[in-house]
Amino acid sequence: LPRAIVVGVKKGGTRAVLEFIRVHPDVRALGTEPHFFDRNYHRGLEWYRSLMPRTLDSQITVEKTPSYFVTKEAPRRIFNMSRETKLIVVVRNPVTRAISDYTQTLSKKPDIPTFEGLTFRNRSLGLVDTSWNAIRIGMYAVHLESWLQYFPLSQIHFVSGEKLITDPAGEMGKVQDFLGIKRVITDKHFYFNKTKGFPCLKKSESSGLPRCLGKSKGRTHVQIDPEVIEQLRDFYRPYNIKFYETVGQDFRWE
């Protein structure tokens, strides 16, 4: 069973963290998202275990399903599997995250309403629709409360989605420390891909090609009215501040 789970958040950089950490010889990771603790819990723990890669005693199994972070039952269910589970949460500026989320949905369903239309219940009053998932996910402080009922902060590691782009080796260094494994993944593993606008893994000795995340990553975001962005910043500010205070880390989204 996994000793560490990347539990969130969607469009934060979870795929990058998973691809980067699985380069480590002491880590084996499940490539697909099993969605066990949200959608497939009824299938039971043995089903979940059967999906996991084979590991040596010295290796850590990792899986990632970003929707766990916003699933009410997930903290209790993971706790019931093992209270020792280490949790990784990749967060990024909630406004950018929401736009990225919308951009992804739009690429699959071109006929959805505008970003603006979905964001506000009443734009002139500045009333944000918190029932829309793209908005709700970014209220990190709210979701974190459910996790802290079961896990101490020391068992949750927060990765900055922004720093993952500007300093991947630095962020992954902290992830390796958190997992209690040697810092094997360093600067020499990354190069910056200007076309995509994010770092990619350099080829290892064994595999011929450099590994970049798929076509669905690094999409050009939809252009949003700056006023809408400003209103959203105002909306998220109190949640962000509470989040910073709770985790003891300033992500500088203000």
Q: Is 220 annotated as a binding residue?
A: yes
Is 11 tagged catalytic?
A: yes
List of long-range contacts for 179-186, beta carbons under 8 Å, 24+ apart:
179/4, 179/21, 179/27, 179/60, 179/86, 181/24, 181/26, 181/27, 181/60, 182/26, 184/23, 184/24, 184/25, 184/26, 185/20, 185/21, 185/23, 185/24
* Tokens at 56, concatenated: 């040596």
Alpha-carbon gap, residue 227 to 250, rounded angstroms: 25
Q: Is 12 annotated as a binding residue?
A: yes
Q: Is 117 annotated as a binding residue?
A: no
Q: Is 219 annotated as a binding residue?
A: yes
Q: Is 92 annotated as a binding residue?
A: yes
Q: Is 31 annotated as a binding residue?
A: no
Q: Is 15 annotated as a binding residue?
A: yes
User: 3-class SS at 135?
Assistant: helix
Q: Is 32 annotated as a binding residue?
A: no
- Label residue 241 exposed, middle or buried (CB < 10 Å: 0-12, 13-18, 19+): middle
Q: Is 123 annotated as a binding residue?
A: no
Alpha-carbon gap, residue 49 to 34, rounded angstroms: 10
What letter does residue 208 receive in the DSSP assignment? Answer: S
Q: Is 217 annotated as a binding residue?
A: yes
User: How far is residue 224 from each of residues 1, 18, 148, 161, 228, measured CA to CA in Å?
Assistant: 42, 30, 34, 21, 7
Please tell me which residue in 11, 109, 194, 196 is annotated as part of the active site.
Answer: 11
Q: Which residues contact 160 (CB under 8 A, 6 or more apart)?
A: 91, 92, 171, 251
Residues within the annotated binding site for 3'-phosphoadenylyl sulfate? 11-15, 92, 100, 217-221
Task: Name the residues annotated as catalytic.
Answer: 11
